């Protein structure tokens, strides 16, 4: 078969999220309508305009969070954790869990034909990495002397501090620790990163450069500096007495985005490679699309971006709107983004009334980690033949014309699209369907 005709299937999944660190916990939360959003514990109270978020509290960074590892890998990985910040730890853990879920161990893989591609946010250093050096450059009047940094301050910074925060490190660590010698790449596109990483992995397999690829993303909005950046740039929810009710995508009384953190990874394989080892196939990636739409002043045109993605997915997969079982929306719970996304969905899928869901209502915005975790959620919905609703969706917004999923009458169908977008208008999407042979 020509490489360009290769079918690419999903054979494993791993995640770290506010809804748990495995697919079963994720599904239990979604199917029972349980939110992972609560009052923030990782950040000091009263320092931000919001005090709630979706923290991955079950993830401590302990080696046990990385699943079942053989002694050699466990020893090496445990030693390497000192060179990983939390975002990188989450990404590596999700990748190890995906590898284990796929059953693609060293005995069943050709290391030269397996690679890794990761999406990330821009990863920020924790302030404490520089605190000792800064203290050296502050005089008795609490003034910082820049001229002293080179001689006195920088010497107090750990020599390898930068390795803990480089965005390309999740893919690098995963490849090194698991001896994956195939193509490796990193894409830093914020919320769009996860679906773009999947698309990159699919094209890598289709062009014959690999037989299998780990494709994932890791991100956070919960960070001493990153949370400040987000608060300055985006509309955050505030003043909610009940954190679980805070994230309300497409709902009339929505009040803004909820901070979150997490990572998700899929094991993607050429169909013939998966079948040769009798792998359990979770789904097939049949379409992907990317776009970036903003005006000359860098103001995003969300509606055009979402329309481009939805049309591109249908064209590339050869499917019609009626063929799509459900839409897993970006659903950021901000006023303009939700309105423009809903308008785009209505334009393309309005006649078919395709049900729409949004996992951000359960866990907040995980940054780059959002897309892959959401994809895993929709894969679970198809497997269980049960579509989870948009949490906290009580009063429809007339400005958001869409068919919000109702699990009493709507099924997940045999396919879904997942879409995500950045505040600057970079958008991505994938179309996945059940594997039918």
State pLDDT tens for residues 320-335.
Answer: 999 999 999 999 999 9
Does the pLDDT of residue 34 top 60, yes or no?
Answer: yes
Residues 19 and 146 in one domain: no
Residues 135 and 243 in one domain: no
Give the strand pairing for 326-328 and 426-433. unpaired
Of the pLDDT bands very low, low, confident and very high (cuts 50, 70, 90), residue 307 is very high
Give the pLDDT confidence of 109-122 residue by residue, as tens digits.
Answer: 999 999 999 999 98
Q: Give the CATH number of the domain where residue 420 resides.
A: 3.40.47.10
Residue 1, domain member (yes or no): no
407, exposed or middle or buried, with CB in 10 Å at 0-12, 13-18, 19+?
Answer: middle
3-class state of residue 265 by DSSP: strand
Residue 314, domain member (yes or no): yes
318, exposed or middle or buried, with CB in 10 Å at 0-12, 13-18, 19+?
Answer: exposed
Print the domain residue range for 236: 10-124+165-433
- pLDDT in the model for residue 251: 97
Does the pLDDT of residue 394 top 80, yes or no?
Answer: yes
- pLDDT in the model for residue 240: 78
Does the pLDDT of residue 231 top 90, yes or no?
Answer: no
Residues 275 and 231 in one domain: yes
- pLDDT in the model for residue 44: 84
Q: How far apart are CA 106 and CA 124, in angstroms?
A: 34
Residues 149 and 295 in one domain: no
Q: How far apart are CA 372 and CA 283, in angstroms?
A: 14
Mean pLDDT value across the chain: 95
Residues 223 and 265 in one domain: yes
- pLDDT in the model for residue 70: 92
Of the pLDDT bands very low, low, confident and very high (cuts 50, 70, 90), residue 5 is confident
Q: Which two tokens stand for residue 310?
A: 């939805």
Residue 269, domain member (yes or no): yes
Number of domains in the chain: 2
Residues 22 and 146 in one domain: no
Instruction: Give the residue-averaged pLDDT of 368-383.
Output: 98
Residue 5, domain member (yes or no): no
Say if residues 202 and 428 touch (Cβ distance below 8 Å). Answer: no
Instruction: Give the residue-averaged pLDDT of 348-360.
Output: 96
- Among 101, 436, 433, smallest CA distance to 283 is for 433
Residues 25 and 152 in one domain: no
- pLDDT in the model for residue 287: 97
Residues 120 and 133 in one domain: no
- Among 98, 37, 44, 36, smallest CA distance to 66 is for 98
- pLDDT in the model for residue 2: 58
Residues 138 and 242 in one domain: no
242 Cβ partners below 8 Å, 6+ apart?
A: none
Residue 117, domain member (yes or no): yes
- List 289's β-bridge partners, or say none: 429
Residues 142 and 118 in one domain: no
- pLDDT in the model for residue 1: 52
Does the pLDDT of residue 139 top 80, yes or no?
Answer: yes
Instruction: Give the residue-averaged pLDDT of 257-261.
Output: 96
Q: How far apart are CA 360 and CA 332, in angstroms?
A: 7
Residues 100 and 185 in one domain: yes
- pLDDT in the model for residue 189: 94
Residues 156 and 196 in one domain: no
- Among 342, 337, 362, 356, smallest CA distance to 247 is for 362
Instruction: Give the residue-averaged pLDDT of 191-206.
Output: 97
Residue 36, domain member (yes or no): yes
- pLDDT in the model for residue 18: 98
Residue 48, domain member (yes or no): yes
Does the pLDDT of residue 155 top 80, yes or no?
Answer: yes
Does the pLDDT of residue 222 top 80, yes or no?
Answer: yes
Give the pLDDT confidence of 35-78 residue by residue, as tens digits.
Answer: 999 999 998 877 888 999 999 999 999 999 999 999 999 999 99
Residue 3, domain member (yes or no): no
Percent of the chain with pLDDT over 70: 99
- pLDDT in the model for residue 184: 96
Instruction: Give the residue-averaged pLDDT of 375-398.
Output: 97
Does the pLDDT of residue 256 top 60, yes or no?
Answer: yes
Q: Which of 163, 187, 217 is the endpoint of a domain?
A: 163
């Amino acid at each position: 078969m020509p490489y360009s005709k290769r079918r690419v299937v999903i054979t494993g999944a791993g995640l770290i999220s506010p809804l748990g660190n495995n697919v079963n916990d994720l599904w239990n939360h979604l199917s029972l309508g349980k939110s992972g959003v609560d009052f923030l514990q990782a950040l000091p109270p009263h320092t931000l305009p919001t005090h709630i978020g979706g923290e991955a509290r079950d993830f401590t960074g302990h080696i046990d969070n990385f699943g079942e590892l053989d002694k050699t890998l466990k020893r090496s990985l445990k030693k390497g954790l000192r060179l990983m910040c939390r975002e990188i730890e989450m990404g590596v853990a999700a990748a190890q869990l995906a590898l284990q879920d796929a059953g693609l161990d060293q005995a069943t893989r050709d290391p030269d034909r397996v690679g890794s591609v990761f999406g990330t946010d821009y990863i920020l250093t924790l302030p404490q990495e520089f605190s000792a050096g800064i203290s050296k450059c502050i005089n008795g009047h609490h003034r910082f002397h820049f001229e002293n940094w080179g001689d006195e301050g920088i010497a107090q910074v750990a020599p390898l501090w930068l390795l803990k925060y480089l965005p390309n490190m999740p893919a690098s660590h995963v490849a090194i620790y698991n001896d994956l010698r195939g193509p490796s790449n990193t894409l830093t596109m914020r919320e769009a990163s996860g679906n773009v990483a999947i698309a990159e992995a699919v094209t890598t397999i289709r062009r014959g450069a690999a037989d299998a690829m780990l494709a994932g993303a890791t991100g956070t909005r919960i960070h001493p500096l990153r949370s400040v950046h987000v608060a300055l740039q985006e509309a955050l929810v505030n003043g909610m007495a009940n954190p679980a009710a805070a994230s309300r995508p497409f709902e009339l009384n929505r009040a803004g985005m909820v901070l979150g953190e997490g990572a998700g990874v899929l094991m993607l394989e050429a169909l013939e490679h998966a079948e040769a080892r009798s792998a359990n196939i979770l789904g097939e990636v049949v379409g992907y699309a990317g776009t970036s739409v903003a005006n000359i002043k860098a103001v995003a045109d969300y509606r055009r971006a979402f329309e481009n993605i939805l049309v591109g997915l249908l064209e590339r997969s050869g499917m019609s709107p009626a063929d799509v079982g459900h839409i897993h929306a970006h659903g950021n719970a901000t006023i303009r983004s939700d309105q423009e996304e809903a308008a785009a969905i209505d334009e393309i899928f309005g006649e078919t009334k395709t049900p729409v869901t949004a996992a951000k209502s359960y866990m907040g915005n995980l940054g780059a980690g959002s897309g892959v975790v959401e994809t895993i959620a929709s894969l679970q919905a198809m497997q269980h033949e049960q579509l989870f609703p948009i949490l906290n969706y009580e009063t429809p917004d007339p400005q958001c014309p869409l068919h919000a999923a109702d699990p009493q009458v709507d099924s997940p169908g045999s396919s879904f699209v997942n879409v995500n977008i950045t505040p600057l208008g970079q958008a991505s999407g994938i179309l996945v369907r059940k594997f039918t042979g």
